[in-house]
Each structure stands twice: as structure tokens, then as C-alpha cells.
Amino acid sequence: MLKTRLSITRTARALTAELGYNGFTIEQLCEQVGISRRTFFNYFPGKLDAIFGHSSDDMPEGALERFIAARPEGITGISPTLLADTVALVLEQLTFDEQAIVCTHGMFKVAHREPELLQRMMQMGPKKEQEFLDLLSQREGVPADHPMFHFLAHAMRFCCMKAIDNYVANAGAKSLADEFITVLTAAKELFSQPLFLPHD
């Protein structure tokens, strides 16, 4: 069942990137996947749902549990391994299925021309960010509105998007994980510089 569901979503995203949201029908999608309409509707209520898929399909099995379990014991507040463990989690996701990620990236590139896609993305963006903040809160035992969590969420999202842009632009000369590490290393170099605040 998982294999079929993934195939539906990946094919739907590829068709969307190539033809646009209204450029193909559910029947054409089913034909490419090799399933019937009835089978399609067993997995998704409509084309838009198929395109966005299930968020759990984008993450290796057990990755979130490993992230939670990686927190050192006996620590109160933000743990000293939060950044390293978050990077490890992101790398797991980026190496899980590079082509699926690139396909999704291509779909997002056409979203500004597709009102249906844009509306769903605007709805899902804040929801996904809150899910990530809640995950950090669960792991760290700190309220989800902690400013460090918000910074971490935005930093990881920027590094991921920039890495995917570079991966596509360079035709996959380096792995997606390596592109991410390159961007992250540049950020690390910047934020390791001395910071002189007005009251110092």
C-alpha cells in the first residue's frame, strides 16, 4: 500500500511540474501509475490531495523517534546537541529519496501560476512549521514558542531550499546532502564570528 501511495504522489508531482495542475486528469495520472480510478480513490479523495501526499511519506521510518531519543539525559532546558541532532534528522530526510525531493521542488516552482496549489501551500506552510516546533518542544521540554526553535526552523528551511536549488542548478554534481552541508557550513562560519552588541 505504501509503495502505491508513494507512486501516486510522486507521479502527480512530476506531472504537475511538467504540465501544471490543470494540465492532466486523474485518469491520466492513474494510467501512468498503472492503477484504476477506484484504486486511486482508495488512497486520496482528489488530485490536489494526491499531489501533496502524506507528510509521513517524506521521512524515513523511525526518524522522528530517533531524533527524540537522541536527546542527552539529565539535561534541563535546551540540550547541547539540539542543532547537531536536527541536522542529522534533516540529512536523513534529504538522503531518503533525492529524486522525490527534486520532483517536489519542481512542483513548488510552478505553484505561483496555480491558484489551487498556492492556496494549499499557504495553508500547509504554517501547519508544517508548527508541527516542527511542537516536535522540538516535545523533545526539549520547552514551550514551542521559544525563539531558538523559530530560528532553527527558519534556518533549516533556508538551508534545505538553497541546497535543492544548487542541486538542480548543478545537475546533481554533488549529492543533496553535500549541498545542504555546504550551505550549512557557510552559515556556521558566519554565526561563529564575534558579535559586538551596543551594550557590550
Burial class (CB in 10 A: 0-12, 13-18, 19+), 199: exposed
Distance CA 142, CA 135 (A): 10
CATH number at residue 156: 1.10.357.10
18 and 100 in a common domain: no
94 and 63 in a common domain: yes
Residue 196 lies in a domain: no
186 and 151 in a common domain: yes
pLDDT per position as a tens digit, 148-172:
999 999 999 999 999 999 998 998 8
Helix %, strand %, coil % of the chain (to 5): 75, 0, 25
Residue 198 lies in a domain: no
Residue 102 grid cell: 527534486
pLDDT band at 200 (very low <50, low <70, confident <90, very high): low
CB-based contact 63:70 (threshold 8 Å): no
Q: How many CB atoms lie within 10 A of CB 68?
A: 14
65 and 145 in a common domain: yes
pLDDT the model gives residue 125 = 87
pLDDT the model gives residue 172 = 84
163 and 89 in a common domain: yes
Give the count of domains, the chain: 2
Q: Containing domain of residue 177, as a range?
A: 54-191
84 and 17 in a common domain: no
